[in-house]
Amino acid sequence: MQKSISIFNTARLLTQVPLAFKHTVIDYSKVPKLNEIDLSERFVRGGGPGGSAVNKNANCVVLTHIPTGIVAKCHSSRCQDENRKIAREMIVAKLDAELNREDSVAAQKRRIEEKKLKRSEYKKKKVAQMKTEWKKREGLL
């Protein structure tokens, strides 16, 4: 018996992969894992717009990775739990960049974007060259 995949399921699967990275593989195997023992977490009052909601609540998260001394401060949301999650993601990204340098996920994505940009620039130059050659052949120049 064959298993069929509905159009909805395939569309959902395709939207989960970013378009820029569809044909390339990013290596996530070297991303460091966080140990909660290595983290120091503080909740402080945030700043910026928001008035009394910001001034009274300590929902800004300052996360420190003790072995490396890397600090991430997150106050992008009013919710303390969301800020905790985002701060942990920031710490993982900073640790990855620090430990893996050129093999980090951010560096891999940057290389893919640069390659994509070079390819598009090459195509634009090629089309412009073909257009000028066509104009010369037709006697328009």
- Which has the higher per-residue pLDDT, 83 or 53? 83
Tens of pLDDT, residue by residue over 43-71, are 999 888 877 778 888 999 999 999 999 99
Is the confidence at residue 19, as pLDDT, over 60? Answer: no
The percentage of the chain sitting over the pLDDT mark of 90, rounded to a whole number, equals: 70
- Which has the higher per-residue pLDDT, 56 or 129? 129
Rounded Cα–Cα distance for residues 130 and 124 (Å): 10
Per-residue buried b or exposed e for 99-135, using 16+ beta carbons within 10 Å of the residue's own CB = ebeeebbeebeeebeeeeeeeeeeeeeeeeeeeeeee
In this prediction the pTM is: 0.72
The per-residue pLDDT for 88 is 97
- C-beta separation of 72 from 94 below 8 A: yes
The per-residue pLDDT for 117 is 97
